[in-house]
């Protein structure tokens, strides 16, 4: 795959958020509409192309967890805010080969995590669970061995302690379990079909109108 | 895999390292000699010319007839040499009991690799090293000392990645009402592993339930393939221990950090249909229930108890497993109301207290079409039993009609748990008979029912010949 070959040529083991999402898109996994902006001059075109409100993020191949580095600005509502966010993020990224990712802001309160790992015994395994910034504190996740069938995906989603979050709760739509199953099954396919890929984090997958959208993604390649 | 038969039904056996001197090897020698294999058993030890009155040979190369199975209890350093001699002599299967291989690390790992290499080169199959071998109750063949009662043929096949676990299970089994078809200890798995044995027991007619003790699988994907092939026909139960600290390298992703070894095993088991138990007690409870009880048609449970507190504990576990409580039919409610004393609350869970109505209401619940399985918790304070004994009666008077439950064994599952003084359990077991399993605790009764439901829900309802009867082992 082109994105992976490029990273390998550059001796990188991480794909940037944007590259990671391209991979997901190739496997029919819904991702945010977004554009990479390197120069301030190009910002306006990007923001009008996607439409406010927006999220601006620092995007570079060697940045994996952005919250800690203050590289995210959400709920950007107009051009002024966009410019100021752009400048701030670029400043915080000094020293890296970064650009700014201009991204639609997905509306949804429920954050899930979907992942892929390679187990030495079982090979590629898919993870599902409660996501967001507290993912590693909640540890409410389940695993299945790739390749997944739809039944496996449906079962693993019901196994997390917080599975009721997928129901129509608090005035929100019930999650589209078929659509989420497809995401899990497709992630398992990525693991089977790409031996170069070591790990994938899709966190968060935000439920918007009940459907999952990958709002951030990290792909780790084998060394 | 057809070549595993020699392990269980050998035409001829050579015990290499046989001895009549006290110490390691004595027990194995005596056990084999006592099995009256006659001309089919060869004892080999270069430094003893007769053992237990039987002629001993210096080497397997000296024995007059070919054998298909050899058992090695010689020091680790000479195992490889002896193994090659076995191959040269046409031996097809070898059980290596000797320790001092991969389990000690370092040199031991290399020594073990050599054994695997010999197996690959010669086509010879190896169980072990570092194991106690196996027992086959259908023909009485055992490579380790066994308790006589534990060799009564039964429906449970045991595969253990351990030496002593096989002995533990055979020591405990009869008292738990569990009898075995085959018990195999795998040791270090230099060749034959659990995946092959799952398939072997999968087509073994005597085995109705395959139960494993593993610390880790030898090859995850082969294991899953074997389970997926066999589980639809025969339930597979696993007790997995030894959560080794997976020495995790620094990982960039949440997924890498969260994928602790056990969470992946848990997912793999759930996915492939393996039924997992938490401890040895549940291993016995579930194994025998799968062998003896019919499959539930659904998951609606009714709980019957003589003790409100025990009933409550049971209900907690039912809820943990999302078991729906059966809505009792009008007919059931009426039957119960008519017989029940005024203080009894008629609902599910049903607490009959000291009314003496446990057995009749068990029948009523079993007859209810809305009920897929009944958990019955029985307790009488022993002082009452003592009291009625002084009057010449017995505890049986509280269990009048319970013997009938034998007839329900082809209807729907019922999980009976007798709590209190151990003697009570023996009394109840006598009344219901050996073919009705009694579960060790009320909580386990709930867990076992949940597993029965799970097994049936996986589509595994088609049994080849219906549930086994315990008397089929006699």
pLDDT in tens, A138-154: 999 999 999 999 999 99
Contacts of B157 (CB under 8 A, 6+ apart): B180, B181, B182, B183, B184, B201, B204, B206, B207, B209, B210, B211
Residues of chain A with pLDDT under 70: 61-69, 95
Q: Which residue of A has its CA nearest to B224?
A: A122
Would you tell me how many other CB atoms lie within 10 Å of the CB of residue B189?
24
Rg, C-alpha atoms of chain A: 17
Interface test with A, best of B258, B263, B266 (most A CBs within 10 A): B258
Distances (CA, A) of A148 to A17, A189, A199, B191, B274: 25, 8, 16, 30, 17
Q: Which of residues 263-292 of B touch A (CB under 8 A)?
A: 263-264, 266-268, 270-271
In sequence order, the β-bridge partners of residue B303 are: B375
Burial tier of A168 (Cβ tally within 10 Å: 0-12, 13-18, 19+): exposed
Confidence (pLDDT) at A68: 60
DSSP state of A96: S
Q: Which of residues 37-96 of A touch B (CB under 8 A)?
A: 64
Q: Which residue of A has its CA nearest to B270?
A: A144
Q: Measure A68 CA to nearest chain B CA, in Å.
A: 14
Q: Which of residues 96-115 of A touch B (CB under 8 A)?
A: 113, 115
Confidence (pLDDT) at B257: 74
Length of chain A, please?
223
Q: Are A102 and A56 in contact (CB under 8 A)?
A: yes
Burial tier of B398 (Cβ tally within 10 Å: 0-12, 13-18, 19+): buried
Length of chain B, please?
474
Q: Measure A81 CA to nearest chain B CA, in Å.
A: 31
Q: Measure B194 CA to nearest chain A CA, in Å.
A: 14
Q: Tokens 């076992």 identify what position?
A: B448
DSSP state of A148: P
**What's the N-to-C CA distance of chain B in angstroms?**
29
Q: B221, A155: Cβ pair inside 8 Å?
A: no
Contacts of B474 (CB under 8 A, 6+ apart): B152
Q: Which two tokens stand for residue B118?
A: 């010999």
Angle made by CA atoms B30, B191, B3, in degrees to the nearest 5? 75
Q: Which two tokens stand for residue B213?
A: 């003790």
DSSP state of A68: G
Q: Which two tokens stand for residue B325?
A: 């409580």
Q: B263, A117: Cβ pair inside 8 Å?
A: no
Residues of B in contact with A145 (CB under 8 A): 220-221, 224, 264, 267-268, 271
A125 in reach of chain B (CB within 8 A): yes
Q: Which residue of A has its CA nearest to B273?
A: A152
Q: Which of residues 182-211 of A touch B (CB under 8 A)?
A: 199-201, 203
Across the A:B interface, residue pairs with CB atoms under 8 Å apart total 90
Q: B259, A125: Cβ pair inside 8 Å?
A: yes
Residues of B in contact with A199 (CB under 8 A): 251-253, 255-256
Q: Measure B231 CA to nearest chain A CA, in Å.
A: 16
pTM comes to: 0.90
Residues of A in contact with B257 (CB under 8 A): 136
Q: B220, A113: Cβ pair inside 8 Å?
A: no
Q: Which residue among A121, A144, A155 sits closest to B220, beta carbon to beta carbon?
A: A121
Interface test with A, best of B267, B322, B459 (most A CBs within 10 A): B267
> What is chain B's pLDDT, residue by residue, as a tens digit (474 residues)?
457 999 999 999 999 999 999 988 999 999 999 998 988 999 999 999 999 999 999 999 999 998 999 999 999 999 999 999 999 999 999 999 999 999 899 999 999 999 999 999 999 999 999 999 999 999 999 998 888 999 999 999 999 987 678 888 999 999 999 999 999 999 999 999 999 999 999 999 999 999 999 988 999 999 999 999 999 999 999 999 765 545 445 566 777 777 777 899 999 999 999 999 999 999 999 999 999 999 999 999 999 999 999 999 999 999 999 999 999 999 999 999 999 999 999 999 999 998 989 999 999 999 999 999 999 999 988 988 888 888 888 888 888 889 988 889 989 999 999 999 999 999 999 999 999 999 999 999 999 999 999 999 886 543 333 333 333 332
Q: Which residue among A139, A145, A199 sits closest to B256, beta carbon to beta carbon?
A: A199
Q: Which residue among B221, B270, B271 sits closest to A123, beta carbon to beta carbon?
A: B221
Confidence (pLDDT) at B473: 30
Cα–Cα dist A190/A4, whole Å: 12
Q: A113, B267: Cβ pair inside 8 Å?
A: no
Residues of B in contact with A201 (CB under 8 A): 253-255
Residues of B in contact with A125 (CB under 8 A): 259, 264, 267-268
Contacts of B420 (CB under 8 A, 6+ apart): B379, B380, B381, B382
Confidence (pLDDT) at A141: 96
Q: Are A124 and A191 in contact (CB under 8 A)?
A: yes
Cα–Cα dist A191/B13, whole Å: 48
Cα A42–chain centre separation: 24
Looking at this predicted complex, what is its ipTM? 0.91
């Amino acid at each position: 795959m082109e994105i992976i070959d490029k990273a390998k040529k550059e001796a990188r083991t991480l794909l940037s958020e944007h590259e990671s999402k391209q991979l997901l898109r190739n496997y029919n996994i819904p991702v945010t509409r977004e554009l990479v902006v390197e120069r301030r001059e190009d910002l306006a075109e990007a923001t009008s192309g996607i439409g406010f409100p927006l999220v601006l993020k620092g995007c570079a191949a060697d940045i994996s967890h952005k919250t800690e580095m203050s590289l995210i600005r959400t709920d950007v509502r107009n051009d002024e805010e966009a410019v100021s966010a752009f400048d701030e993020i670029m400043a915080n990224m000094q020293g890296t080969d970064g650009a700014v990712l201009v991204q639609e802001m997905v509306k949804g309160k429920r954050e899930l995590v979907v992942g892929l790992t390679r187990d030495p015994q079982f090979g590629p395994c898919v993870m599902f669970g409660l996501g967001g910034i507290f993912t590693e504190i909640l540890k409410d996740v389940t695993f299945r061995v790739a390749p997944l069938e739809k039944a496996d995906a449906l079962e693993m989603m019901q196994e997390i302690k917080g599975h009721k979050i997928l129901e129509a709760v608090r005035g929100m739509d019930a999650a589209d379990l078929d659509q989420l199953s497809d995401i899990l099954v497709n992630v398992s396919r990525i693991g089977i079909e790409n031996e170069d890929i070591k790990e994938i984090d899709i966190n968060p997958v935000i439920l918007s109108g009940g459907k999952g959208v990958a709002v951030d993604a990290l792909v780790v390649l084998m060394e | 895999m057809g070549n595993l038969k020699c392990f269980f039904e050998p035409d001829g056996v050579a015990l290499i390292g046989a001895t009549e001197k006290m110490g390691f090897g004595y027990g194995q020698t005596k056990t084999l000699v006592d099995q009256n294999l006659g001309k089919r058993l060869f004892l080999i030890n270069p430094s003893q010319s007769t053992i237990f009155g039987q002629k001993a040979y210096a080497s397997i190369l000296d024995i007059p007839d070919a054998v298909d199975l050899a058992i090695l209890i010689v020091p680790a350093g000479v195992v490889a040499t002896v193994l090659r001699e076995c191959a040269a002599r046409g031996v097809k299967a070898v059980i290596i009991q000797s320790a001092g291989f991969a389990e000690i690390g370092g040199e031991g790992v290399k020594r073990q690799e050599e054994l695997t290499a010999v197996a690959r080169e010669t086509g010879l199959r190896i169980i072990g090293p570092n194991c106690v071998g196996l027992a086959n109750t259908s023909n009485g063949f055992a490579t380790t000392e066994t308790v006589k009662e534990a060799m009564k043929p039964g429906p449970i096949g045991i595969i253990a990645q351990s030496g002593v676990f096989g002995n533990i299970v055979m020591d405990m089994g009869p008292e738990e009402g569990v009898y075995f078809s085959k018990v195999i200890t795998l040791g270090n798995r230099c060749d034959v592993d659990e995946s092959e044995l799952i398939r072997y027991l999968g087509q073994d007619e005597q085995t109705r339930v395959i139960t494993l003790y593993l610390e880790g699988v030898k090859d995850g994907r082969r294991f899953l393939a074997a389970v997926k092939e066999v589980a639809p026909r025969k339930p597979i139960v696993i007790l997995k221990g030894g959560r080794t600290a997976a020495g995790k390298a620094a990982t960039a992703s949440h997924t890498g950090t969260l994928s602790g070894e056990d969470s992946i095993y848990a997912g793999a088991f759930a996915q492939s249909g393996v039924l997992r138990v938490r401890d040895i007690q549940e291993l016995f409870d579930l194994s025998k229930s799968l062998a003896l009880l019919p499959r539930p048609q659904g998951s609606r449970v009714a709980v019957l108890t003589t003790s409100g507190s025990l009933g409550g504990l049971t209900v907690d576990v039912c809820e943990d497993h999302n078991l729906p409580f059966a809505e009792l039919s009008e007919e059931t409610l009426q039957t119960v109301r008519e017989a029940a004393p005024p203080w009894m609350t008629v609902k599910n869970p049903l607490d009959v207290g000291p009314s003496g109505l446990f057995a009749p209401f068990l029948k009523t619940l079993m007859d209810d079409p809305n009920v897929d399985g009944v958990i019955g918790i029985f307790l009488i304070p022993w002082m009452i039993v003592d009291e009625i004994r002084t009057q010449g009666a017995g505890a049986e008077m509280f269990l009048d009609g319970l013997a009938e439950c034998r007839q329900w064994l082809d209807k729907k599952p019922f999980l009976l748990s007798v709590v209190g003084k151990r003697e009570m359990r023996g009394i109840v077991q006598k009344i219901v008979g050996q073919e009705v399993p009694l579960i060790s605790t009320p909580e386990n009764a709930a867990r076992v029912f949940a597993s029965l439901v799970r097994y049936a829900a996986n589509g595994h309802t088609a049994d080849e010949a219906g549930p086994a009867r315990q008397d089929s082992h006699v």
